[in-house]
Amino acid sequence: MDPISPVTTLIDKAEELLGHSPHPAIVALPLGAWSVSNVCDGLALATGDDRYDDAARVSMAIGLIGAAGSIVTGLRDYSYIPEERPSHEVATRHALGNALVGTFFATSYILRVRAHEEGRRPGLLARSLGFAGGALSLYTAWLGGVLVEEYGESVKPVMGELDDEDERRGRERLASDSPLGSYR
């Protein structure tokens, strides 16, 4: 038995239940948590209140936990996009950018935990990495939107006949029986 089989089976079951890939739903958790973390960092800098530092650290941890689910489901979706498809390059940028986002936030979190354990406030590097992760996540989230809205990846076709605009956006590549859009 493949060691990853239980994970892919779980993703497949979630997909059946939702009617689409669970990835778009799961990404809301890290994006939201990391946005809260960035806002709390800004408030901590503006007010000097340590409680905002704590909230930024905790929300960052929640985002990292959610990112684990986003990674697994995102890689599953990515595996269904053939390299020949124009959307593959966008999906690759999306994945690599998100790897960098996760690295920024994970490093920031480690620095914050160390500072907290030593009774210090987060340093400039921890905050800068958090803000950089937040800024880059806006771009990678936009790329995810491009994959769905522009290229129709992971979208079940619901339209009847395709018009020129649908064909230009790649919707003709979707199979009606596949939520992940198998290549024809």
Supply the pLDDT for residue 160.
47
C-alpha 30, offset from chain centre: 7
Q: What's the CA gap between 173 and 153, in Å, rounded?
A: 9
Residues whose CB falls within 8 Å of the CB of residue 171, separated by 6 or more in sequence, listed in order: 152, 155, 157, 159, 162
Question: Does residue 180 or residue 47 have the better pLDDT?
Answer: 47
Q: Residues 2-31: pLDDT tens digits?
A: 777 887 788 878 777 777 788 988 999 999
Q: Residues 95-135: pLDDT tens digits?
A: 999 999 999 999 999 999 999 999 999 999 999 999 999 99
b vs e for 33-61, b when ≥16 Cβ sit within 10 Å of the residue's Cβ?
A: bbebbbebbebbeeeeeeebbebbbbbbb
Q: What's the CA gap between 15 and 4, in Å, rounded?
A: 17
